[in-house]
Structure 1
Amino acid sequence: MSIRRLPEHLVNRIAAGEVVERPASALKELVENALDAGATRIGIALSDGGLARIEVSDDGCGMAADEIALALERHATSKLPDEAIENVVTMGFRGEALPSIASVARVAIESRVRGAEGWARTVDNGRLEREGPAALPPGTRVVVEQLFARVPARRKFLRSPRAEYAACLDAVRRLAMARPDVAFTLEHDGRRALVVTSAEGRPARVAALTDRALADNAVTIDLEREGLVLGGVAGLPTFNRGVADHQYLFVNGRPVKDRLLIGAIRGAYAEMMPRDRHAVVALFLDVPPSEVDVNVHPAKTEVRFRDPALVRGMVVSGLRRALDEAGFRSVQRPAADAMAMWRPEPSLSPSPSGASGELPPGQFRSGWEPDRPDAGLGWGLSAGAALGETSPTPNPSPEGEGLYGRAVHDRRTTFFTPPPAARAEPAWAPPPDTAEHPLGVARGQVAKTYIVAEAADGLVLVDQHAAHERLVLERMRRALAGGRVAAQALLIPEVVELDEPACDRLEARAGELAEFGLDLERFGPRAMLVRTTPALLGTADPKGLVTDLADEIAAFDEALSLRERLDAVAGTMACHGSVRAGRILSVVEMNALLREMEATPHSGQCNHGRPTWVKLAHGDIERLFGRR
């Protein structure tokens, strides 16, 4: 076969395959052109997720009539003043975007330079359709219609309008995040979906485009080293998400997806959050143009650094320094006026002689009562007590027995003294036989997180949250095997606000989620109504559950069903329905958890692979005290 030159229209289509993969790719190129033109306001309008129409208007410098015609030719650009491509500082510079888009769609460009007349030019799939004067304010308006309509081989691989709209929205978010000095508006099918003004700074812009709560739960980053400048916003370790889609990376103002930077973020947050959670981060790295290659990928989404070790070290140290300075900060507590609604519950008067001595639900017996026949070493202790509980005041007897002898229990109510450091509760059961109950019987709770149990052959420590998370997951698996998970109706349906793509994903999977016991209903463009939750989860937080599920669904391909992703989806639900660290458990609850663990497969590790319990044998304990 002889070598031949390809026709111009085919060359343009090949270039379009590299630059214009979907509507979001075309939208990204048009917005980048507007930014390079010095725009301070950019308006975007989409129809059918960009499949039918993409319109981008700006107030930039505009183009003259001859420049519009030149912009539609391949490799024509105003962004390279000379041949030093390694020193490029603009968003786009290849000169392929507009002619590539125009070769696979109908493109109309209207532009006006300040002090001159406006001009318009329309190209339909590579052929000039019309041109002439146009009336518009200074700036440029580009309309792209029917993308890939005449290229069915490409059109059939595009996704649904909702999915394409979600990709367009993500592209605009990233570009708007990089330029807080520019105002952005985005409309989809006539409805305004995104509005950000140019008056807000970088932290406020990042919070507005990700999560408003990030403003109060993040640290700012500001570091300079060897000509590199790192800035941005990093969420606290406790402010995390279920997937890594909320990590935004920028190099010289250009949104990128770089493995080196993603790995650096993971390393900076190592040992500060669970392995299945991901930080919310927006990092802006400014590097001398000679130290980075931005022409690695046709769409400029990947970069290559001259000194990757320096960049990685700078990101890790910058993040860690900012997080270290945050000290004890965690996710913000409820507002002070909400906390003021809580009131201490007064203790009841002493029970009359001969009464059973049992306390009503919610009341705990504090201190110790040696008058009781069951007092002594058989009691289980767990940390934590509420203000207003009865506080013991052991007094030495006249015979000088002191604290270790017979004491008098003072039942006076103390509202203004520090609360007792522990509560006591009878736990009479003797250590069980190892063969029957290898995890033993509960003797107490440490740090409101770990159950202390005594077995016949040693001491057992159980992570109550990790253990219960596994138990809930296994219950959910058994329920799904039997058909569907039982649902528990909410007395008042809860409204959960999310962004529109997240609502679209949940709405599309509503039928499958109902099999898990979660009944969701669309409640406007950016909200979901939760009517039922899985009964196995008890009093789980519907908002946190639905938010994490939206992230989980976004993380895997739409071709997979939720049942095919059983472990991920059920694991997310189980995490929200499990006993949390920090919850005080009664001895009965602790023993019930131990017994269920003994009867449940895989209960030795949680849903994320971490151990749920450890044992110190008698020999290990003796070695700790030097008895061996």
Structure 2
Amino acid sequence: MARINLLSPRLANQIAAGEVVERPASVVKELLENSLDAGATQLDVDIEQGGVRRIKIRDNGHGIVKDDLSLAMSRHATSKIVTLDDLEAVQTLGFRGEALASISSVSRMHLTSKAVGEDEAWRVEAEGKEMTTAVRPASHPEGATIEVRDLFFNTPARRKFLRTEKTEFNHLQEVVKRLALSRYDVGFRLSHNSKQVYDLRPVTDQLHAEHRLGTLLGKKFIENALTIDVEAAGLRLWGWIGLPTFSRSQADLQYFFVNGRVVRDKLVAHAVRQAYRDVLYNGRHPTFVLYLELDPSTVDVNVHPTKHEVRFRDGRLVHDFLFSRIHKVIADVRPESGEMPTQIAEEPESEVASMPTQQSRMAFQREPQGASSSSLPWRSSSDSSGEAAVVRGQLDGLRQLNDNANRAISGIDTNNMFPQGVDPLTGEVLAPDVMGFNGSGSYPVAVDSGERFNNLVAENNEHDMPPLGYAVAQIHGVYILSESSVGLIVVDMHAAHERIVYERMKNAFYAKSVPSQPLLVPINVSVSQTEADLVEDNQTVFEAFGFKVERTGVESVMVREVPIILIDGDIESLVRDVVSDLAVNGSTDVLEARANELMASMACHGAVRANRKLTIAEMNSLLRDMEVTERSGQCNHGRPTWTQLSMSDLDKLFLRGR
């Protein structure tokens, strides 16, 4: 057996380069992060042949003093951390001190720098041979310029794994894009083969930040995005989330930053996916650019060589915070007529593909976001698989709950939104003495809803019209046509009613604190000791959803009570799924997901069917219900429920004004 030898500095650096330097994009990432850590406010990136031939990065940071230039090329040499306490609360993008040494071992690298306050600039060179470097005078303004040529020239095996020039540059461009999204106060210029790709100036206000977003991600994202800025329990979340109807076939328009560091974290992805679960079309992925700010000491960034992953000290708190806040923003979307969304400067259409977006021409109103620190410990799980079993024996009971919710929601005061003399729930013209509900609790007695109704609506100012307007006709028993102050609104009546029924079922179901039923014959479930410990430690998770699960042995648990809505389901499999989710994510919403699947199925079957003729009163009642129902823009399957054509859109169709 070979004797143990000490690796040479060059070989050690080349081994480290295998972790740090995967392709030209990796080089650009490391160098740009160093420049940002040096306080640069302007970064110029010049690329040739996808970065394989040449990478040149220039910054205006504080530079490197002469005596530190040679040391900067050594492994484990950094100015960013000194003690273990520094490592446990890292606030810089880089901290390992391996980037320059690794890059110089597989390329020809030149570093020129002038430190702030010094009179001269200095240059150091390394070409992947010996690790000794020589420093000589140079001409350079304050800051630093790093030039990397002939990447992997001395490791041909690594060079063979590189892709085409276009592919490599696309990866490199994505790195610049992410860093530009992380630091709006820094300017970025990117050119490839002497052709300018980006010229992003530093921005400090919302309008210019959204313009940068539009430049990098396409203006359609901004047109279909909701802003979020909430704070609770020492966490702050801000940024933009795409509307459910603006989704992608791939998870490629998702950017998440933790204290300014771009990360790809499973916990974060899981929380966001669950927040969109009820409103996203099957197989689609949400879009977002989100920023999480928290105490650096509560997040470990030293868990991956490329620093793409992080570990939170309290992952469950972070997960529930992200889920609850994003879920609330989506639920609070309300249509508001008479105002168009903010547009950014015209530019070529991006490659962002979206589902049909009824809201793309409408403004949206959200309720103010509070800073409550309450969390939902059982609302957090991966997608549940399989169809929920239909509990026929409980259908009547849930329909009764739905009827109760219908009556409760009828009490919402919306009179101020509608013209005088028109019923706010139905849009019908009312006799003068029946503006309130009659003694039986049913809708008010309506009078002539034909010509008199239309005349009354026409006489009222446009600002008195409700957001979804008033129904004027039904098309082929499927779509409702409504006249609003903006133009024409088309509603898919089945999809809209399906969402309304579903939301009322959920509200009624959870308002009763999830009623449960004892099992005549308790179910014994064999589990591992670790899984039994999880069940014992998470009793509140099961109790919150009507389950009573007790530990009966070292490797067994007993199910004694289950929620009524899941009484006929596969209880053993359900318990195992919950335990598995707890083990992976630290929390679960498998129980809620199964119940919601069942209620969604019931709502679909209970909603008004196509080809059913509705009266004007019934159509207006549906529109009013949509205006006060959460997530009414999508049905239970994520399909849009309504779309709008403004008067200008209609004029374009018929070439009016030309």
TM-score norm. by structure 1 comes to 0.54
Partner of 1:236: 243
- Counterpart of 2:179 in structure 1 is 175
Q: Give the CA deviation at 1:423.
A: 5.6
Corresponding residue for residue 125 of structure 1? 128
Q: Which amino acid aligns with 1:445?
A: V
Q: Partner of 1:11 in structure 2?
A: 12
CA contact (8 A) 2:104 2:127 kept: yes
Deviation, 1:332, is: 5.1
Residue of structure 1 equivalent to 2:23: 22
Structure with the largest fraction of helix: 2
Change in CA separation of 1:335 and 1:264 when aligned onto 2, cut-off 3 Å: closer
- Conserved 8 A contact 2:23-2:162: yes
Q: Which runs of 5+ in 2 are unaligned?
A: 337-356, 364-449, 460-469, 481-489, 495-609, 612-636, 640-658
Shift of 1:416: 6.6
- Contact 1:59 1:140 (8 Å CA) reproduced: yes
Distance 1:144 1:270, change over 3 A: same
SS class of match (1:73): coil
Counterparts of 1:93-492 in structure 2, within 5 Å, are 93-116=95-118, 117-127=120-130, 128=132, 131-201=135-205, 202-328=209-335, 333=360, 420-422=472-474, 444-445=477-478
Q: Which moved more, 1:283-292 or 1:295-304?
A: 283-292
Which stretches of structure 1, 4 residues or more, deviate above 6 A after TM superposition? 413-419, 448-452
2:335–2:362 contact (8 Å) kept in structure 1: no
What SS class does the counterpart of residue 193 from structure 1 fall into?
A: strand
Q: How much does 1:200 deviate?
A: 4.7
Q: Is the 8 A contact 2:70 2:134 kept in 1?
A: no
After superposition, the Cα gap between the structure-2 partners of 1:156 and 1:305, relative to the gap in structure 1 and judged at 3 Å, is same
In 2 relative to 1, CA 335–283 (structure 1 residues): closer, same or farther, beyond 3 Å? closer
Residues 321, 158 of structure 1: CA spacing in aligned structure 2 closer, same or farther, 3 A cutoff?
same
Amino acid at match of 1:8: P
What displacement does 1:232 show? 1.3
State the match for 2:604 in structure 1.
none
Over 3 Å counting, the alpha-carbon distance change for 1:96 and 1:611 in structure 2 is closer
Counterpart in the other structure of 2:58:
57
Which residue pairs with 1:37 in the alignment? 38
- Amino acid corresponding to residue 9 of structure 1 in structure 2: R
Residue type at the aligned position of 1:192? Q
The answer to whether the 8 A contact 2:244-2:638 is kept is: no
Matched residues in 2 for 1:161 and 1:186: separation?
16
**Aligned AA for 2:29?**
K
Select 1:91's aligned residue among 90, 93, 96: 93
Letter aligned with residue 91 of structure 1: L
Structure 1 residue 451: deviation in Å?
11
Contact 1:217 1:331 in 2 (8 A): no
Provide the C-alpha distance between the structure 2 equivalents of 1:33 and 1:228, rounded to a whole number of angstroms: 27
For residue 193 of structure 1, what is the amino acid of its counterpart?
V
In the TM superposition, residue 115 of structure 1 has moved relative to its aligned partner by 3.4
CA displacement at 1:419 relative to structure 2: 7.3
Whole-angstrom CA distance in 1 between matches of 2:220 and 2:148: 36
Query: Which residue of structure 1 aligns with residue 513 of structure 2?
Result: none
Distance 1:445 1:114 in 2: 70
Take 1:203 and 1:416, find their aligned partners in 2: how far apart are those partners? 39
In structure 1, what is the Cα distance between the partners aligned to 2:478 and 2:291? 45
Letter of the 1:40 counterpart: T
State the Cα deviation string for residues 225-284 of structure 1 (Å, max 9, x = none). 221221111111122222111000111111111111111111111121202222210111
Once the two structures are overlaid, the 10-residue window that deviates more, 195-204 or 228-237, is 195-204
Secondary structure at the residue paired with 1:240? coil
Structure 1 contact 236–331 (Cα < 8 Å) conserved:
no
Contact 2:223 2:360 in 1 (8 A): no
Query: What is the CA–CA distance in structure 2 between the aligned matches of 1:23 and 1:294, rounded to whole Å?
Result: 23
Supply the AA of the counterpart residue of 1:422.
Q
Q: 1:450 to 1:146 in 2, by over 3 A?
A: same
Equivalent-residue separation in structure 1 for 2:172 and 2:96 (angstroms): 22
**1:333–1:249 distance in 2 versus 1, CA, 3 Å:** closer
Separation in 2, partners of 1:297, 1:24 = 17
Which amino acid in structure 2 is aligned with residue 124 of structure 1? E
Closer, same or farther: CA 143–235 of 1 in aligned 2, 3 Å: same
Structure 1 residue identity aligned to 2:80:
K
SS at match of 2:334: coil
Equivalent residues of 1:178, 1:254 under 8 A apart: yes
* One-letter code aligned to 1:313: D
Amino acid at match of 1:95: G
Q: After superposing the two structures, state which structure 1 stretch, 317-326 or 15-24, moved more.
A: 317-326
Alignment gaps of 5+ in structure 1: 337-408, 425-443, 453-583, 586-609, 613-628
Matching residue's letter, 2:99: A
Taking the aligned partners of 1:253 and 1:126, their CA distance within structure 2 comes to 36
Deviation at 1:5, TM superposition (A): 0.8
- In 1, Cα distance between the equivalents of 2:316 and 2:67? 47
User: What is the identity, as a one-letter code, of the residue corresponding to 1:110?
Assistant: T
Instruction: List per-residue Cα deviations over 1:456-503 (Å, max 9, x = no partner).
Output: xxxxxxxxxxxxxxxxxxxxxxxxxxxxxxxxxxxxxxxxxxxxxxxx
**Which digits, 9 at most, give the CA deviation of each residue in 1:124-166, with x for residues without a partner?**
0143575311111110000011111110111111111111100
Q: Give the residue type in structure 2 aligned to 1:421.
A: A
Alpha-carbon spacing, 1:7–1:109, altered in 2? closer, same or farther (3 Å): same
Give, in angstroms, the shift of residue 446 of structure 1.
Answer: 5.2
Determine the C-alpha separation between the residues in 1 that align with 2:58 and 2:73: 17
The secondary structure found in structure 1 opposite 2:45 is strand
Secondary structure of residue in 1 paired with 2:478: strand
Output the CA distance in 1 between the equivalents of 2:180 and 2:23.
20
Matching residue's letter, 1:79: K
TM-score, with length taken from structure 2? 0.52
2 CA distance for matches of 1:140 and 1:332?
A: 47
- The CA distance in 2 between the partners of 1:88 and 1:335, in whole Å, is 43
Q: How far did 1:445 drift?
A: 3.0
Stretch deviating more after TM superposition (327-336 or 289-298): 327-336
**How far off its partner does 1:75 sit?**
0.3
Given the alignment of the two structures, is residue 77 of structure 1 paired with residue 78 of structure 2, yes or no? Answer: yes
Q: What is the distance in 2 between the residues matched to 1:335 and 1:228?
A: 31
Change (3 A) 1:80 1:450: closer
CA contact (8 A) 1:119 1:134 kept: yes
Query: For the structure 1 residues 25 and 203, does the alpha-carbon distance in structure 2 shift closer, same or farther, using more than 3 Å as the test?
Result: same
Q: Is the 8 A contact 2:281 2:638 kept in 1?
A: no
**Secondary structure of the corresponding residue to residue 162 of structure 2:** coil
C-alpha separation in 1, matches of 2:213 and 2:265:
19
Deviations, residues 358-396 of structure 1 (Å, cap 9, x unaligned): xxxxxxxxxxxxxxxxxxxxxxxxxxxxxxxxxxxxxxx
Cα separation, 1, equivalents of 2:63 and 2:475: 74
Q: Distance in 2 between matches of 1:312 and 1:6?
A: 43
